Amino acid sequence: MRSAHTVEQVRAAEAELMARLPEGTLMQRAATGLAVAISNFLGRTYGARVVLLIGSGDNGGDALYAGARLARRGAQVTAVLLSDKAHEGGLEALRAAGGRAGALGDVGAAISPDDIRTADVVVDGIVGIGGRPGLRPEALAAVQLAERHGVPIVAVDTPSGVDVDTGETPEPHVNAALTVTFGTQKICHFIDPAATACGPVHLVDIGLALPPAEVDSLQAGDIRHLYPVPHGESDKYSRGVLGLMVGSTQYPGAAVIATAGALGGPVGMVRYVGPDAVADAVRAAHPEIVSGNGRVQAWAIGSGLGDELDIPRIRELLDAEEPVVLDADGLKALDDTGDHVDVLVTPHAGELARLLDVDRATVEAERLKHARLAAERFDVTVLLKGATTVIAAPDGEVRVSGNATPWLATAGAGDVLAGLCGSLLAGGLSPLDAGSVGAYLHGAAANLASFSGPITAMSVAAALPEATRYLLRD
């Protein structure tokens, strides 16, 4: 599991550790890890042209000490000072190692915009994790100069200008080719849009003792542990029966696709409940399904219901004892009354915006905030689909899944996910675990399917067994 902590949690852990260590030890650990990461990123050190953008915070000190290490190994290191209060010890170390430091246009230090234009890498040591979103004009100008000339930026801890604790990017910010962070990952590393601005994130262990995280990202081992694998005494009923109320005469394909997603999960049987003509189409594609009412262990409801949406019936099922995945048109039946703790909703940003009566752009800009808000308001687990999927439980627990390929942005992919998550619910997982496992396997299957290029929803569903096989054999 990868965990992301808040700024407050990190600050407290750093203070506790610094009280037990000689002064400056923590910064030296960070600087060593940063220097190694920059060397690995460049593929060399000797002769590399490295420019450090230095603000007044401690991450400017990290960058300066890392620059000194690189300079001692033969790099040409230039520090562009964006504040009058750069870290004194770091500046002294850099100059002693042969590096240059000064403000842009500093004739005495021979610092000019050409240093940035011709650099092999620019290191963002402008603002630390305690900084507010946005960049000051002089910092923004330096960052934009690097971007215009295609110079990659390595961010120290977090890209300067993003909101560290929310993943929001309301102001201009750094877009990093690599982020090197210390002690633990921060929420902005997991949550878009800031996660995209981070690029790949490299974690340097500096010895922090941290409390439980605010946000977690389950990895393959965690997903393997949760996946409901059948045992020797299993039968189709003990493995779970999923009821599917999806598709319509208007959108029969949604029923076929959602069924494919469900059958790609651990469920023992799928029971389709819907129009006869649609049931015929589902049976033609998936002859193992049964149709008509009967006992189920969970429901997946909503994909492609269109004009045949039966809100009273759906609300009746939401209030029953079986857990429910609610997707697409089915979300129109959700209200903020009653006990919905066994309900997993799977909206995209536009659908969540309609539920909360806000603009879609607002949800996309503040994904974590609105996923949590909906989970609390409707007492459900919210799986907010996107490049990084946010799964928020009503008790405040949050997980993130970010392993999907952009090829997954294709019609019907959400129907596959709804069916898969329903299958996992029927297999006995909680809504939070079903959403977490479903999002991970959905992304893994899409990656397998996309090896040869563009994919369809049905090719993602077809890849689910192979993705599960890879997961369980490791």
341: confidence class by pLDDT, cuts 50, 70, 90 = confident
Q: pLDDT tier at 364 (50, 70, 90 boundaries)?
A: very high
Which pLDDT does position 474 carry in this prediction? 63
Say what percent of the chain tops pLDDT 90: 91
Residue bearing the bigger pLDDT, 440 or 307: 440
* Range with lowest mean pLDDT among 174-183, 225-234, 342-351, 381-390: 225-234
Q: What is the pLDDT of residue 231?
A: 85
Residue environment code for 198-233, b if the CB has 16+ CB neighbours within 10 A, otherwise e: bbebbbbebebeeeebbbbbbeeebbbebbbeeeee
- Residue 236 confidence (pLDDT) above 90: no
Strand-strand pairing, 76-81 and 398-401: unpaired
- The average pLDDT across 241-250 equals 96
Distance CA 450, CA 405 (A): 8
Q: How confident is the model at residue 380 (pLDDT cuts 50, 70, 90)?
A: very high
**Confidence (pLDDT) at 100:** 96
Q: Which stretch of 50-54, 82-86, 260-264, 337-341 has the lowest confidence by average pLDDT?
A: 337-341
Give the residue from 163, 140, 344 showing the smallest Cα distance to 242.
344
pLDDT at residue 215 greater than cutoff 80: yes
Beta carbons within 8 Å of 57's beta carbon, 6+ residues apart: 125, 127, 128, 130, 131
Give the per-residue pLDDT at 288: 95
Average pLDDT (236-258) is 94
The rounded mean pLDDT for the chain is 95
Does 2-216 match 220-473 in CATH topology? no
CA-CA distance, 351 to 362, in Å (whole number)?
12
Q: How many percent of the chain have pLDDT more than 70?
A: 100
pLDDT score for 237? 78
pLDDT digits (tens, 9 = 90+) for 274-332: 999 999 999 999 999 999 999 999 999 999 999 899 999 999 999 999 999 999 999 99
What integer pLDDT is reported at residue 336 of this predicted model? 81
What would the mean pLDDT of 405-428 be, rounded to a whole number?
96
Residue 52 CB contacts under 8 Å (≥ 6 apart), including other chains? 63, 64, 67, 77, 78, 79, 80, 94, 122, 123, 125
| pLDDT (average), residues 44-50 | 97
Domain 220-473 homologous superfamily, CATH: Ribokinase (3.40.1190.20)
pLDDT of residue 351: 97
Domain ranges of the chain: 2-216, 220-473
Class of domain 2-216: alpha beta
What is the pTM for the complete model shown? 0.93
Check whether 472 has a pLDDT greater than 90: yes
